[in-house]
């Protein structure tokens, strides 16, 4: 990967803006919570953008309501969370969410090949980050973390 200092906040906002029409068409309002100052990550900008795009696309496709987007920074980690309502997910779905070709709803037609989250996981690993899914009652929260070096 070609690494450089990238403002992750700027990338998130750019990607969100690029999906404005999709949010409008589906009646989804993103609730965005990010630090006011820039947040820099030493990584490949196109890989980071692809991760954010994949997660937003996945949330738009499968959300049954509004989406929450949070960026937090501590002394040791940058964390990006995206949460959306996902009432029909089972524990089995959460376990296999990052497996290639896995679809939580096997009856889905035309909503992707089941590769978005596995690709996202692979990209996160290449960026030395982690990704995990966390069920929260009727919501799904995807958590991405990158160590601050």
CA atoms of 38 and 32, how far apart (whole Å): 15
What are the tens digits of pLDDT across the range 13-66?
A: 999 999 999 999 999 999 999 999 999 999 999 999 999 999 999 899 888 899
Report which of 40, 46, 34 is spatially closest to residue 7, judged by C-alpha positions: 40
Share of residues in the chain with pLDDT > 90 (%): 67
The model's pTM: 0.86
Report which of 67, 55, 61, 50 is spatially closest to residue 104, judged by C-alpha positions: 61
């Amino acid at each position: 990967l070609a690494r450089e200092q990238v403002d992750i906040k700027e990338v998130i906002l750019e990607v969100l803006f690029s999906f404005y029409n999709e949010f409008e068409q589906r009646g989804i309002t993103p609730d965005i919570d990010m630090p006011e100052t820039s947040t820099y990550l030493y990584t490949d900008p196109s890989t980071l953008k692809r991760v954010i795009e994949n997660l937003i696309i996945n949330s738009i496709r499968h959300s049954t309501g509004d989406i929450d987007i949070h960026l937090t920074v501590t002394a040791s980690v940058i964390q990006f969370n995206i949460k959306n309502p996902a009432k029909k997910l089972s524990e089995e779905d959460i376990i296999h969410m990052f497996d290639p070709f896995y679809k939580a709803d096997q009856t889905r037609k035309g909503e992707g090949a089941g590769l978005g989250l596995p690709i996202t996981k692979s990209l996160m690993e290449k960026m030395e980050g982690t990704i995990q899914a966390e069920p929260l009652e009727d919501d799904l929260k995807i958590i991405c973390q990158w160590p601050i070096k």
